[in-house]
């Protein structure tokens, strides 16, 4: 746990930076202090991992939500908030190595299982000639005309449409909080989303944004990191573009020794 204690110490500087911006942003400073406190308690083992993670990410999310004022001061605070968010995620990775609480641990176990099955399927189909390694690693994303948000095709998405549903869909019923389970590339591209989010396009951008999320590039900070990181696990908390607060746990997918992308499991915060 020494690395966690070091991270706790690092947060001191972040908290001081927030506090120096002025009393009129005291609420954000208070939230930063709460983050520091939660990290310290994790390091000391004072409370359960479940409560620690929930409170930690709640505080970070509230801080990000409160950064609505636009000035130089706020930009500095936003930078500090992102830094502390990264530190919180690093702590979650350390905790994953020693054991998360049951709610998060079951997600982590499902993610590892799913990523392994997807990699094995890809590798087997390469051997059998069903898909080539070059096609599977095609990163030339071609926009689909007249789609909003824009959808993209590649040399492998027709293949994944055939094989990924059988691997992704069964994961959803194995955890009460799961909303989606999707493979993505390093650029945040999701070739084949879950069935619930692969409804026929209507031409109505609002409807399609919620009901058809397949073949899109989710290249925001959260989406990019899900497919590009090569850590054993990355746990993020964010507000989805449809307004829902989500946890997002991702693990790498490695095909024939090459990093293909990641498996993202999005799930709701635990009810209390």
Peptide bond into 149 cis (omega under 30): yes
Number of domains in the chain: 2
Structure-model confidence comparison of residues 199 and 16, the more confident one: 199
Closest CA to 213 of 182, 178, 245, 239: 182
| Domain C-terminal end among 98, 131, 163 | 98
Mean pLDDT calculated for residue range 220-243: 86
Average pLDDT value over all residues in the chain: 79
Using DSSP's 3-state secondary structure scheme, residue 261 falls into strand
Would you say residue 11 has pLDDT above 50?
A: no
Q: How far apart are CA 272 and CA 269, in angstroms?
A: 9
Residue 123 and residue 68 share a domain: no
Would you say residue 155 has pLDDT above 70?
A: yes
Residue 73 and residue 119 share a domain: no
> Can you give the residue range of the structural domain that contains 34?
2-98
Residue 133 and residue 75 share a domain: no
Would you say residue 107 has pLDDT above 90?
A: yes
Residue 82 and residue 179 share a domain: no
Taking the alpha carbons at both ends of the chain, their separation in whole angstroms is 28
Structure-model confidence comparison of residues 254 and 14, the more confident one: 254
Q: What is the pTM of this model?
A: 0.70
pLDDT of residue 82: 60
DSSP code at position 198: B
Residue 74 and residue 106 share a domain: no
User: Which range has the worst mean pLDDT, 92-96, 133-137, 146-150, 179-183?
Assistant: 92-96
pLDDT of residue 36: 55
Q: How far apart are CA 88 and CA 272, in angstroms?
A: 21
Residue 151 and residue 240 share a domain: yes
Confidence of residue 101 (pLDDT cuts 50, 70, 90): confident
């Amino acid at each position: 746990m020494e690395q966690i204690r070091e991270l706790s110490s690092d947060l001191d500087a972040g908290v001081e930076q927030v506090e120096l911006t002025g009393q009129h942003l005291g609420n954000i400073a208070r939230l930063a202090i709460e983050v520091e406190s939660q990290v310290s308690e994790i390091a000391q083992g004072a409370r359960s991992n479940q409560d620690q993670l929930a409170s930690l990410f709640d505080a970070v999310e509230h801080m990000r939500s409160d950064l609505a004022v636009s000035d130089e001061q706020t930009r500095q605070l936003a930078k500090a908030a992102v830094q502390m968010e990264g530190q919180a995620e690093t702590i979650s990775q350390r905790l994953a190595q020693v054991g998360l609480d049951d709610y998060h641990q079951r997600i982590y176990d499902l993610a590892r299982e799913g990523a392994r099955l997807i990699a094995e399927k890809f590798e087997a189909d390469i051997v059998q000639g069903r898909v080539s390694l070059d096609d599977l690693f095609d990163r030339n994303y071609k926009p689909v005309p007249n789609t909003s948000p824009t959808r993209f095709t590649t040399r492998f998405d027709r293949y994944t449409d055939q094989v990924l549903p059988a691997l992704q869909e069964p994961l959803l019923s194995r955890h009460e909080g799961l909303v989606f389970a999707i493979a993505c590339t390093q650029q945040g591209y999701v070739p084949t989303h879950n069935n619930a989010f692969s409804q026929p396009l209507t031409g109505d951008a609002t409807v399609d944004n919620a009901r058809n999320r397949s073949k899109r590039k989710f290249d925001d900070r959260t989406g990019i990191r899900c497919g590009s990181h090569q850590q054993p696990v990355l746990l993020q908390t964010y507000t989805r573009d449809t307004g829902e607060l989500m946890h997002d746990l991702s693990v790498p997918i490695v095909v024939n020794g090459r990093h293909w992308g990641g498996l993202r499991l999005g799930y709701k915060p635990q009810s209390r």
